[in-house]
Each structure stands twice: as C-alpha cells, then as structure tokens.
Amino acid sequence: MRQNVQRKPEPARRKVAVIGTGYVGAVTSTCLASLGHTVCGLDTDSTRAGQLNNGQTPFHEPGLPEILKSTLSTGRLRFTDCHAEALSDAEFVFLCVGTPPGPDGAPDLTQLESAIQSLAPHLSANAVIVNKSTVPVGSGNWTRTILEDALEGNRQLTFHVVSNPEFLREGCAIEDFLYPDRIVLGGAPSDVSRVAELYQPVLDQSFHGGRRGVKPSLITTELASAEMIKYAANAFLATKISFANEMAQLCELFGADVREVLPAIGADHRVGNAFLNPGVGWGGSCFGKDVAALISTGQEYGYTSSMLQSTVEINKLQRASAIRKLQRELHILKGRRIALLGLTFKPGTDDLRDAPALDIARRLLAAGAVVSAFDPVVKVLPDEYAGVRLTPDVYDAADRADAVVVVTEWPEFRQIDPHGLRRVMRGDLILDGRNCLPEDSFIGSGLRLIGFGW
C-alpha cells in the first residue's frame, strides 16, 4: 500500500536589497542569495559593483569567490550602482555600510545616514530596514527618524526597523554566516519574525550543505539590546586577549611560563581557551573601533569605562613591548636588519587595518632599522610604509637579518625550517610575536627563540 508522505514546505524566497558591498555587505549578499533569496547588492562605486558581477571579490576571504560565482550563475544575485534597480520591490533592505571611528572614538555615522536617506525615494511599502552596521545604542530609533524625515512627502508609507548585528570573523566569514552560534534580531516581535524567516534555512540547517548537528540560537531582543550585544561581545573578546597579555607580562617578571598558565585557566569550562592568546595584541577594524565607541558613549553619559580603557592601553603596550624586546637583545636598532613575518592583523585575510605589524614596522623605521617583510597575501603596502621591503618568501625576508619577528600566525610559518633561516640570517634572534612557533624544532638550530610570557 502506497503511503502519503508529506513534503517539508519549501522555505519562502524573498526579495532583498543590500546597501554596501564591503566586507559585511558582500558576504551577506552572497550568502542570502545562496539560501535561495533574490538579492541585489548596491554600491555607489560602479567599478566594485562590476567586479562583483564578474565574480571578482574586492578582498581576500576564503570560500567567498567560489560561492559568489556559483550564486551569480543561478541568477538570484546581482550587484548595481543604481538605487532604483536595487530597491525596487525589495521586501528587506540590509544596511551594511561602514561606521568608522571619529577623532573622539565615537562612530562616524555619515555613510549610514547617507544610505538611509538614499533609499527613501525607492522604499517599498511595509519594507523592513535591517541594520547590520555596527552602530551606537539608540541608532534604530535614529534610523527611523532619519527615514521619516526623508519620506516627508510620503508620510503614509509604512516601514519597519530591525537590528541584526553581524558577528563575521575575517577569514571565516562564510562559515560564520551559514553555521553561526547565534543570530541576534532586535525590534518589534512581528518585524523580528519576518527577518527570522529569511534566516530559517540557517536556523534549521535545511540548505544544501547544512549540518545536522548545528543548531544556531535565535536571540530576539529590543532594538537597543541588539545594538549593545555587538559592542559588548567585541569588548569582551578584546578584554580577554588583553588579560592574556597582562598575564604574559607578569609571567615574565615572576619566572613563570604563560604557555603553561593560560591553558590551565582555559581548561575551566567557565573560561575556555578561545582568545587567551598572548602576543603583540589585537588589531583589525572591529575591536579597537567598538571598544572606543563604548568608552566614548559612556563618557557622554558621564561614565568612565576604566576596564575598557585598560584593555586598550594594554594592547598598545604589547606592540611597544615587541620593540623593547628587540632593543634588549640587539642593544641598538639603528642600522639593524629586521624581518617581519606576517602583515595582516590576523591570518586568513588581507586586511591591514590597525595591524600590529604595521605599527611595529613604523616604530622600527623611526628607530633607523632596515625592515623587510613577507606575508602570504599582501602584495602592496600603503605609501607611508614605502621603507618596508616586501619579499616573495620567508627566507628572502630573513636574508642577512639580525632578527626575525613573527607578527601574524599564518599556519605556514609553523612549518619554517629553522636551519634554513639560520643559513640566510646574519643574526640569530627569532621573536615569536604570537607564541605560535614549535619551540622544539628550534633546538640545535643555532637560533635564539623568544616570545611573550616565557
């Protein structure tokens, strides 16, 4: 006897516009389209829109080129510089524009305000504005006010505002979007439910390639709480790294080994090992900006964020500590040849924003050192680092070097041949700025390996 098998209903396919095709916008556009939605990414830069339409990514992100090309081929994804084309009939409009820090550390919302105003003439009735940009607490209501003012001639048009902060790690962005720990949505319950429907294939892992064992949490809050969650999360992670660095400094003073201390702390399930990584400190476009924004916003309310200020100060000290270690071992830096291995702020990306390596390079150049560098993905440096000689490989960078400094923990650096380094170096000092090199492999190589916290 034939049994009637009920098929699981197909997830709803929605029309989505994404304003901004930078890191967050490009990943969001591509991944939403891969889930079956019809997505148009909007960027005022026609060249960038054209590159993306041709399957060319404007930055290094593992896995993005492949998923971009495959999704473009379905016809569900396109990019444009035309507001009318992107926003026509869009049910959801994602705001993914930059909010860089201003001189006082507060986020500069100029780009976001411009994006909000620009969508007003093309907004569809009942559309949901989804803010993925990192914004100060209260920006959801500010967004609503800006848009209402821009819609002055069309007051009858209804729209909704939801906060959906992003938690994408550079180098792991596709993984983080499709297999997240949690999805945070803030706003009115009915509006949040509509956005949650967009993410349903992720929440139940029903898309092609979904993982049965992964069940992301859906966290729904008020607008202000969702906006605060992003800042609080990044501030905590930055503080955890700075705590590890503080412990490293104390271990050096006390004669303890931080490589033994921190794993023991992390073994406690209440703590965990993630981000307990001492070294030259954190960088990138998020931690510093978000911590500064929290400090600045607190000051507006008369509150001094002492712990967060210490988090920033400790991070600055770690970069200076790398220079002090070199001075202690080499005595003088003027005329010394220093090779930097790794330039990006972390492995898996080509992002140089607030990269510790560039700060260290600047300090070395100012001290009169001769600086060479190798990074697996960086081929060009900003003009102000013209004094740094970029090389094609590790051993070319280390040629005649008095010291080699590992600044970014690219996996391939763990495979460095110490004997090969010794053959090309003039000196014998290796400063492991990430405590990532296998110490045993350097025994008998004729090199002196030093790090942070031991």
| Active-site residue set | 286
Q: Is 420 annotated as a binding residue?
A: no
Q: Is 279 annotated as a binding residue?
A: yes
Q: Is 283 annotated as a binding residue?
A: yes
110-134-119 Cα angle (round to 5): 50
Q: Is 170 annotated as a binding residue?
A: yes
Q: How far apart are CA 70 and CA 64, in angstroms?
A: 10
Partners of 339 in beta bridges: 372, 404
Q: Is 402 annotated as a binding residue?
A: no
What are the counts of helices (DSSP H) followed by strands (DSSP E) for the chain?
16, 14
209-131-234 Cα angle (round to 5): 75
Partners of 371 in beta bridges: 338
Q: Classify 102 as helix, strand or coil.
A: coil
Sheet containing 217-221: order of strands: 77-80, 38-42, 15-19, 92-95, 127-131, 159-163, 182-186, 217-221
Structure tokens at 149: 């003012």
Q: How far apart are CA 435 and CA 433, in angstroms?
A: 6
Partners of 449 in beta bridges: 430
Structure tokens at 178: 């499709």
Phi, psi (rounded to 5 degrees) for 339 = -105, 130
Closest CA to 43 of 59, 21, 62, 64: 21
Q: Is 237 annotated as a binding residue?
A: no
Q: Is 105 annotated as a binding residue?
A: no
Q: Is 35 annotated as a binding residue?
A: no
Q: Is 167 annotated as a binding residue?
A: yes
Q: Is 277 annotated as a binding residue?
A: yes
Instruction: Note the residue count of the chain.
Output: 454
Q: How far apart are CA 133 and CA 331, in angstroms?
A: 46
338-341-345 Cα angle (round to 5): 120
Q: Is 54 annotated as a binding residue?
A: no
Q: Is 337 annotated as a binding residue?
A: no
Q: Is 215 annotated as a binding residue?
A: no
Sheet containing 429-432: order of strands: 389-390, 370-374, 337-341, 403-406, 429-432, 448-450
Q: Is 36 annotated as a binding residue?
A: no
Q: Is 99 annotated as a binding residue?
A: yes
Q: How far apart are CA 186 and CA 184, in angstroms?
A: 7
Q: How far apart are CA 227 and CA 132, in angstroms?
A: 9
Annotated binding site for NAD(+): 43, 48, 99, 134, 170, 289, 353
Annotated binding site for substrate: 167-170, 230, 275-279, 283, 346
Annotated binding site: 43, 48, 99, 134, 167-170, 230, 275-279, 283, 289, 346, 353
